[in-house]
Amino acid sequence: MIEYTRPRLVTMLTLIVCGLAIVFLARAQSQSNFVGGDPARSATSNVRTSELRFEAGSRSNWHSHGNFQVIMAEDGRGRTRIQGEQLQEMLPGVPFFVPRGVVHWHGAAPDSHLVQLTISSGETSWLGPVSDEDYLGQ
């Protein structure tokens, strides 16, 4: 017969109780955050997310997306412009939606960096550089 000393028995019981607590908590946390069933998640490879940092005065070339793009300043200030429209200032927390095939650019303000969050879908078609006149809104 195996003889247990009191400290070994306490250690074993502690480990068993901790293990049961972990199992119980894991089951409790796997509870759904949705009413009426969990939505199905598809594995999409055509949706991309990124966080880009533009230094003051830097910007993308003109481009468009095969489906859409959502851009939003997270930190700093930026600029964006849809071809043929007015220049728009990007401030933290304000999203911009760019529809499929719409030619545009985005980047930092002349005197501020920009940390930009981006969600895009579809192939990106890159065009030429943004002129200083377009960047300055002239």
- What are the backbone angles phi and psi of residue 52, rounded to the nearest 5°? -115, 145
Task: Give tens-digit pLDDT for 78-127.
Answer: 999 999 999 999 999 999 999 999 999 999 999 999 999 999 989 999 99
Task: Give tens-digit pLDDT for 13-72.
Answer: 566 665 555 655 555 555 667 787 777 777 767 788 899 999 999 999 999 999 999 999
Q: Does residue 90 contact residue 110 with C-beta atoms inside 8 Å? A: no
The C-alpha torsion from 123 through 129 and 132 to 135, rounded to 10°, is 0
What the chain holds in terms of domains, given with CATH numbers, is: 47-135 (2.60.120.10)
CA 85, CA 76: separation in Å to the nearest integer?
Answer: 23
What's the predicted TM-score (pTM) here? 0.70
